[in-house]
Amino acid sequence: MLLRPRPFLLQVLTPLPFSRAPLAVRRTLSAPAAAAAGAAPRGDAPAPARTRHKNSRKAEPPRVPANTALFFPPGVERDADVTAEMVIPGSNIVVGPYAGDARVKEAEFIGCSAHARDCPKDDRPEFAVLGRSNVGKSSLINSLTRRKEAALTSKKPGKTQTINHHLINKSWYLVDLPGYGFAAASKTARMDWSSFTKGYFLNRDSLVGVLLLVDASVPTQQIDLDCANWLGRNNVGLTFVFTKCDKVKKGKGGRPDENIKEFLENIGSLYPRPPPWIMTSSTTGLGREGLLLHMSQLRNYWDNEAT
Ligand SMILES: Nc1nc2c(ncn2[C@@H]2O[C@H](COP(=O)(O)OP(=O)(O)OP(=O)(O)O)[C@@H](O)[C@H]2O)c(=O)[nH]1
Ligand SMILES: [Mg+2]
């Protein structure tokens, strides 16, 4: 089996594989890339939205928690002097030298697989989109690809039941997975969802990383922490993607920024180094460009260095 170093393993008690040549990160190197992602010229919070979405009560995207711990991508030294322009808006992700063309020019649905062994056999890098049922996995894929129905969405949980491969720009895959954590199911049954997806995570050599989606419109759910824990213990690199950041519910536990802060506090103890995270909304497009840019740097590192 071909073993490739994954670019952003989280339980990194050994040196990361990407501490290469020192990098003058203050140079223009990453600033244009951050600008391409829509980086605000100053500050670490996303620029306020100018229009209200008809379905959301609030126009302003949630603010990044203060003193947020940064994620340093491949090619950026951990103690690098990072300026606000180099951080993707609404995230803790620093843009590094591997960031490249993040555009989605073409997206093609390749097929669905019931088992890991049935997935496409080529070596193209892929990102798996994972999260609770109804968290917005299929919607995120549609938003990233700008296709309304690239992946089928539904208000009813459990819509996606197979491993679905979408080929992007003929060069990499986005993979839609079944959701976990039906509220109605027992705890055992809930974690059992993964008997076949677990095989996928453990055996998929071309998996660059997992986008673990977390619903920012509700307080921290134990099952998301359990999933993050399982992936971490199995050396699967992940990025937390907060979804539904446009959605503000009335009452306690209804504010995305508070829920995100609470979630980050909860996972803080799980990881010795801060994992990457980003705020998104498939409804307003918040975080789309930034997430694509982040994936480009992981992918380019994978393509160039990890073979
Ligand atoms: N307000 C808001 N609603 C969203 C967002 N993303 C998804 N939704 C809604 O959430 C519901 C579930 O979305 P899906 O994309 O089907 O969720 P999923 O995670 O693929 O669900 P399963 O396939 O059942 O696991 C749909 O009604 C979406 O319209 C978002 O960013 N904001
Ligand atoms: Mg789905």
CATH of the domain at 252: 3.40.50.300
Beta carbon of 282 within 6 Å of any ligand 1 atom = yes
Q: Say how many domains are in the chain.
A: 1
DSSP letter for 155, please.
S
Q: How far is the CA of 155 from the centre of ligand 2 (A)?
A: 10
38 assigned to some structural domain? no
54 assigned to some structural domain? no
39 assigned to some structural domain? no
Q: How far is the CA of 133 from the centre of ligand 1 (A)?
A: 8
pLDDT (0 to 100) of residue 268: 86
Q: What is the mean pLDDT of residues 243-266?
A: 88
Beta carbon of 247 within 6 Å of any ligand 1 atom = yes
Q: What pairs with residue 77 in β-bridges?
A: none
What are residue 227's phi and psi, to 5 degrees?
A: -65, -45
Q: What is the mean pLDDT of residues 167-179?
A: 92
The token pair that represents 223 in the structure block? 């099952």
Q: How far is the CA of 131 from the centre of ligand 2 (A)?
A: 9
Q: Tell me which residue range forms the domain holding 117.
A: 59-306
Distances (CA, A) of 97 to 50, 171, 179, 208: 31, 20, 34, 17
Q: How far is the CA of 156 from the centre of ligand 1 (A)?
A: 9
93 assigned to some structural domain? yes
| CA–CA gap between residue 134 and residue 80 (Å, rounded) | 38
| Position 144 pLDDT exceeds 90 | yes
287 assigned to some structural domain? yes
Pocket test of ligand 1: the residue of 53, 56, 130, 139 to mutate, having most ligand atoms within 8 Å of its CB, is: 139
DSSP letter for 297, please.
H
Q: State the chain's mean pLDDT as an integer.
A: 77
260 assigned to some structural domain? yes
Could you read off the pLDDT of 53-85 as tens digits, one per residue? 444 444 466 777 777 899 999 999 988 888 889
Which residue is closest in CA terms to ligand 1's atom 13?
136
ipTM over 0.90: yes
66 assigned to some structural domain? yes
Q: What pairs with residue 174 in β-bridges?
A: 127, 166
132 assigned to some structural domain? yes
Please give the span between the terminal C-alpha atoms of the chain, in angstroms, as a whole number.
Answer: 13
Q: What angle do CA 42, 45, 256 make, to 5 degrees?
A: 175
DSSP 223-286: HHHHHHHHHHHTT--EEEEEE-TT---SSTT--HHHHHHHHHHHHHTT-SSPPPEEE--TTT-T
